């Protein structure tokens, strides 16, 4: 049975893990849920990797990650290339930084030892090669020393990253921001529903990986706008070619992501327009990175537009969950016993 197409995930990332006990011990992985995955690596919940299972190296910390992958397959492809930069075909031979000096028993090249500097240098390289340079990725750093090492490497190399590639930092651990967790049974980073703010339960950070959006909530207004446009047939004409968009037309149509703008256009028209507006006219590129909406002139990002589009055409269940109105929980009724003793049942 052929699997049904899925919308672009809310989050899928490739992360760099470091032992807090021995900083030279590093691990690269991928996940849609960094807080849960870190809990697995640290043995809080089941499912961690064998290479991170030694108690002598725990706890582990996520020091950096790359987000914005359009699928688990895309993330796994990037993860494999970052883990195996000595053999990855995504890296041109003349640009390769990692080399194998030994062979396995089966004759295959042995993976060279990892260090923080080697991982960061190959991360920088992968973000600039044709295979990944135009993907809608974002680099996050959660430790000052790791970000400083990244900056030192960027200052050494001539190869520059795409100017629009976001590199963000979150060192909020220094401020120690925390929120209450519903119960100790929930893994760190998975905040329980229905918290009353009474300070009960364990505490979980709100910085770093715990501040990343794990669902589509940041797109709620954008998704709602797209639903309204197509449900009430307000597509109008294509913002690029000016042809009227037939309400019954099959095809794919993208919507401007800026608040207050209902610019809709054929997907191919958006693509050509944004590519043409890029520096150099997007020479040799198939998909654009971003640009400005021809109607409102506001900045748009191709990755964000495609996430909304795939939700609209493939993610009916996800959209329903995102837009449904949550009913407030009714206050608990007190029994006669409770009224007399001031204690609640159970």
Q: How far is CA 24 from CA 21, 118, 125, 162, in A?
A: 9, 11, 21, 30
The answer to which of 63-67, 80-84, 186-190, 267-271 has the lowest mean pLDDT is 186-190
Q: What is the average pLDDT value for the chain, to the nearest integer?
A: 87
Per residue in 113-136, pLDDT (tens digit) is 999 999 999 999 999 999 999 999
Better-predicted residue by pLDDT, 48 or 67: 67
Sorting pLDDT into bands at 50, 70 and 90, what band is 334? low
The sign of the CA dihedral 305, 310, 316, 322 is negative
Per residue in 279-303, pLDDT (tens digit) is 876 778 999 999 999 999 999 999 9
**0.95 exceeded by pTM:** no
C-alpha–C-alpha distance, residues 19 and 56, integer Å: 9
Q: Looking at residue 12, what DSSP letter applies?
A: -
Percent of the chain at pLDDT > 90 equals 74
Query: Rounded mean pLDDT of 173-195?
Result: 38
- Which residues have CB under 8 Å from 223's CB, separation 6+? 216, 308, 311, 312, 319, 322, 323
pLDDT at 41 > cutoff 60: yes
CB 240 within 8 A of CB 253: no
pLDDT at 44 > cutoff 80: yes
pLDDT at 250 > cutoff 90: no
What are the φ and ψ backbone dihedral angles of 179, each rounded to 5 degrees? Answer: -130, 160
pLDDT of 122: 98
Distance of CA 88 to the CA centre of its chain: 23
Question: Among 164-178, 214-228, 249-263, which range has the highest average pLDDT?
Answer: 214-228
pLDDT of 198: 42
Question: Of 12, 21, 19, 22, whose CA–CA distance to 41 is shortest?
Answer: 19
Q: How far is CA 164 from CA 133, 157, 291, in A?
A: 11, 18, 10
Sorting pLDDT into bands at 50, 70 and 90, what band is 305? very high
Sorting pLDDT into bands at 50, 70 and 90, what band is 344? very low
Dihedral, 240, 245, 249, 255 alpha carbons, nearest 10: 60
Q: Looking at residue 57, what DSSP letter applies?
A: G
Query: Rounded mean pLDDT of 303-321?
Result: 97
């Amino acid at each position: 049975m052929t699997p049904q197409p899925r919308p672009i995930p809310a989050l899928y990332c490739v992360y760099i893990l470091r032992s807090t006990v021995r900083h030279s011990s590093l691990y690269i992985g991928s996940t849609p849920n960094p807080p849960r995955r870190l809990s697995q690596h640290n043995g809080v919940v089941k499912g961690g990797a064998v290479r991170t299972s030694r108690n002598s190296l725990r706890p582990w910390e996520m020091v950096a990650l790359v987000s914005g992958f359009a699928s688990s397959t895309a993330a796994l492809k990037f993860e494999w290339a970052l883990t195996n930069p000595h053999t990855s075909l995504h890296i041109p031979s003349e640009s390769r930084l990692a080399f194998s000096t030994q062979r396995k028993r089966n004759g295959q090249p042995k993976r060279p030892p990892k260090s923080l500097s080697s991982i960061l240098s190959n991360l920088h390289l992968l973000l600039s090669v044709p295979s990944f340079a135009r993907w809608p990725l974002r680099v996050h750093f959660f430790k000052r020393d790791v970000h400083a090492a990244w900056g030192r490497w960027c200052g050494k190399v001539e190869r520059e990253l795409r100017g629009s590639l976001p590199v963000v930092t979150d060192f909020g651990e220094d401020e120690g921001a925390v929120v209450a967790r519903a119960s100790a049974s929930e893994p760190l980073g998975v905040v329980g529903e229905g918290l009353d703010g009474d300070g009960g339960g364990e505490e979980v950070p709100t910085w770093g990986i715990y501040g990343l959006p794990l669902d589509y909530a940041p797109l709620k207004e954008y998704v709602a706008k797209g639903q309204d446009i197509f449900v009430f047939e307000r597509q109008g004409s294509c913002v690029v070619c000016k042809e009227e968009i037939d309400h019954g037309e099959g095809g794919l149509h993208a919507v401007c992501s800026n608040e207050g703008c209902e610019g809709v256009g054929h997907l191919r028209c958006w693509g050509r327009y944004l590519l043409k507006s890029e520096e150099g006219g997007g020479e040799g590129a198939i998909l654009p990175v971003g640009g400005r909406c021809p109607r409102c002139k506001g900045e748009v990002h191709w990755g964000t537009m495609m996430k909304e589009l795939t939700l609209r055409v493939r993610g009916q269940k996800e959209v329903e969950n995102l837009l449904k109105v949550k009913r407030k929980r009714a206050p608990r009724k007190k029994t006669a016993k409770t009224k007399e003793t001031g204690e609640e049942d159970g």
